[in-house]
Amino acid sequence: MIIDFHTHIFPEKIAERTISALATSSASKPHTNGTESGLIYAMEGSGVTLSINLPVLTKPSQIDSIISFGNEINSKYSEAVNNILSGSEEGSAPAILSFAGIHPNDEAPEEHLELIKSLGFLGIKIHPDYQGTYFDDEKYIRILAYAKRLGLITVTHAGIDGAFPGEPIKCTPTRVLRALDKLGGYDRLVLAHLGGGKVEDEVYSLLAGENIYFDTAYILTLAERSHLYRIIERHGEDKILFATDSPWSEATRDLSVIRSLGLSKSQEEKILSKNALKLLSK
């Protein structure tokens, strides 16, 4: 089984213009059209069983539409997702599980997190760069503390984002450590891009080994193989989640990188699905 822990899809009516705008701002080439059907088609071609959709709110007012779209996706795939999480995915078609999202300027984050939890969402996504807020800001600490209390997973962008050249990095390893200290730890926190895109040395020296997860979104074909291996080795294969950042990378290519690192079969299985199953089923 293969689980892609970091993907992005958009409603059909906005997908084309959204993907076009994001591609331009980040100078990136999309590998799907950013729709549900586009992701499913890519999954069928690469053998991915389950993809996690991670929405990003660029303003607080988007929360209702994000929750509505996520609910629609989760309702459609609920039976397939339940089978996958229970280990009975044999013969199942590819499925998508959507997280929700929240903005640091939300005036009622606890209320919205309670709603997200009550609707059955397993986690939320935040993006410090697109949301214009440093990861250790008290606005995020308030959100993270309540998400932790509710048992929600939080996935955050970490490191440099290509859409913000020259701007200060909003989620650095140092800021992550400050936040973890304020939170008293958070073992359901996932840092995208193997702990921080383009800050691999800091990730290795400051974050590797902390009781948090790293996903592999977008970084596998960019970072040196030696950097990838040493971070995985130091952090531990139990805390690494396979991810592509689809549509900005694609699974077939990223899987080939994972399989070229010289990891054991057991290590690969943990990274490709077992760690995700464990986290999603807690």
Enter the pTM of the model: 0.97
Q: What is the residue-level pLDDT of the chain in tens, covering all 282 positions?
A: 999 999 999 999 999 999 999 999 988 999 999 999 999 999 999 999 999 999 999 999 999 999 999 999 999 999 999 999 987 766 578 999 999 999 999 999 999 999 999 999 999 999 999 999 999 999 999 999 999 999 999 999 999 998 999 999 999 999 999 999 999 999 999 999 999 999 999 999 999 999 999 999 999 999 999 999 999 999 999 999 999 999 999 999 999 999 999 999 999 999 999 999 999 997
Contact criterion met (CB below 8 Å) for 71 and 56: no
